Amino acid sequence: MTPDALANERAAAAKALQEADEIAVSCHIKPDGDALGSAVGFVRAAVAAGKSVTLSFGEPFELPDYFSLLSLDQLVRPEDFPAAPEVMITFDAADRSRLGSLAEASAAARTLIVVDHHVTNDGFGDINLIDGTASASALLTFDLIRALGWPIDPEGALGLLMGIVTDTGRFQYSNTDARTFRVAAELVEAGAHPERIGQMVYENAPFGFLAVAAAVQNRTVLEADISLVWSELLSSDLAAAGIEAVEAEGLIDHIRVAREADVAILLTETAEGTKASLRSRATVDVGALASTFGGGGHARAAGFTFEGPAAVVIERVREYLRDR
Ligand code: 5GP
Ligand code: MN
């Protein structure tokens, strides 16, 4: 989207939101810090502006513990979300299917506003604020709130800063630009405390996580000929350690440190099949690789869920990497 087109969409979104009495707010399923952090940042501002707000996300209705840091007063179960909202706004969802069980509500919404930073997003809203150059959806959310002239309180600022911190890997990924630091600075000025995010998101695992991480690391395979490092997180690892799947997120960051590989993949055994997290250092566009499995994401970070075993996934990945 060109800057002019984006500015037009932002103005249209601001108008629709100003005129609405009730706003339904959502983000992608299995929310990460950017998805729910952006949503909470927006919700705080909308509530302060006098709007009646409902926040939810599609099944499964469960969250990693670190989200207890955020103010979630408006959060309701997906079945209690309006079936046909007057105005609905989604954060960080690259396509309608990423809304899971709220996809139908988004299709029935009178006005759907999509705020996202995935380059693959083709604009499934009536109004689309999509900017693939933004390091986090939280940056676009910040710009929208400013365009509305709504206040950003410390709780809202904390949500938006969580989005930036998590989607930039603590300000270290290639998407971390000057604009990212400028918005982060404004959020700290608005009252967000970075150390609360650091401690809650990155230093807050149950003890059993260490055993799960050890099992996953021990199972890691390096395929140097195709510059791939990968591992599996098994349901039995979680059962043995007595922890839930949501408490074992982020293990891809343990795998990707191997400098011998450009591509790092963690395959997680789930009820639906295999969930894949993909990262790349420099060369392979893992978003394109994920899209061959019906998933997506960014060039350096992507994901998908495959209805089949890990062995099938990894064999198809090998073929893809060999043929490129
Ligand atoms: P993660 O590995 O942290 O779950 O996801 C990394 C990136 O890939 C995120 O930007 C996320 O939006 C994207 N992603 C993860 N899973 C999926 C998926 O199933 N479909 C799509 N389209 N994107 C995904
Ligand atoms: Mn994001």
Q: What is the residue type of 174?
A: S
Round to whole Å and give the CA distance between 243 and 316.
30
Judgement on whether residues 35 and 95 belong to the same structural domain of the protein = yes
304: Cβ below 6 Å to ligand 1? yes
> Tens of pLDDT along 277-294?
999 999 999 999 999 999
Q: Cis link prior to 309 (omega < 30° from 0)? A: no
> Tens of pLDDT along 233-273?
999 999 999 999 989 989 999 999 999 999 999 999 999 99
Judgement on whether residues 81 and 192 belong to the same structural domain of the protein = yes
Judgement on whether residues 145 and 240 belong to the same structural domain of the protein = no
Buried-state track 86-96, b at ≥16 Cβ within 10 A, e below 16: ebbbbbbbbbb
Domain that holds residue 253: 208-323
pLDDT at 1: 84
Residue 163: pLDDT over 90: yes
Q: Residue 59: pLDDT band by 50, 70, 90 thresholds?
A: very high
Round to whole Å and give the CA distance between 312 and 15.
49
Of 180, 202, 224, the residue at which a domain comes to its end is 202
* Percentage of residues in the chain having pLDDT higher than 90: 97
Residue 92: pLDDT over 90: yes
Of 185, 202, 219, the residue at which a domain comes to its end is 202
Judgement on whether residues 118 and 198 belong to the same structural domain of the protein = yes
Cα 297 to ligand 1 centroid, rounded to whole Å: 5
Q: Residue 81: pLDDT band by 50, 70, 90 thresholds?
A: very high
Residue 324: pLDDT over 90: no
Q: What is the residue type of 34?
A: D
Cα 121 to ligand 1 centroid, rounded to whole Å: 12
pLDDT at 243: 95
CB 57 within 8 A of CB 63: no
pTM: 0.93
Round to whole Å and give the CA distance between 205 and 10.
38
Give the β-pairing of 228-233 and 263-270: parallel
pLDDT at 215: 98
Round to whole Å and give the CA distance between 112 and 91.
11
Q: Which of 90, 118, 201 to mutate to test the pocket of ligand 1 (most atoms within 8 A of CB)?
A: 118
- Domain CATH for 283: 3.10.310.30
Q: Which of 66, 277, 286, 300 to mutate to test the pocket of ligand 1 (most atoms within 8 A of CB)?
A: 277
Judgement on whether residues 34 and 56 belong to the same structural domain of the protein = yes
- Domain CATH for 54: 3.90.1640.10
Judgement on whether residues 163 and 225 belong to the same structural domain of the protein = no
Compute the mean pLDDT over every residue in the chain, rounded to the nearest whole number: 97
Q: What's the number of domains the chain is made of?
A: 2
**DSSP of 287-303, one letter per residue?**
HHHHHTTT-EE-SSEEE
Judgement on whether residues 193 and 284 belong to the same structural domain of the protein = no
Judgement on whether residues 61 and 152 belong to the same structural domain of the protein = yes
Judgement on whether residues 110 and 229 belong to the same structural domain of the protein = no
Judgement on whether residues 84 and 38 belong to the same structural domain of the protein = yes
Residue 145: pLDDT over 90: yes
> Tens of pLDDT along 95-142?
999 999 999 999 999 999 999 999 999 999 999 999 999 999 999 999
Judgement on whether residues 196 and 223 belong to the same structural domain of the protein = no
pLDDT at 318: 98
pLDDT at 296: 93
pLDDT at 4: 95
Cα 240 to ligand 2 centroid, rounded to whole Å: 32
Round to whole Å and give the CA distance between 267 and 259.
19
Judgement on whether residues 120 and 20 belong to the same structural domain of the protein = yes
Please give the DSSP secondary-structure letter assigned to residue 273.
E
Of 172, 202, 232, the residue at which a domain comes to its end is 202
Cα 253 to ligand 1 centroid, rounded to whole Å: 14
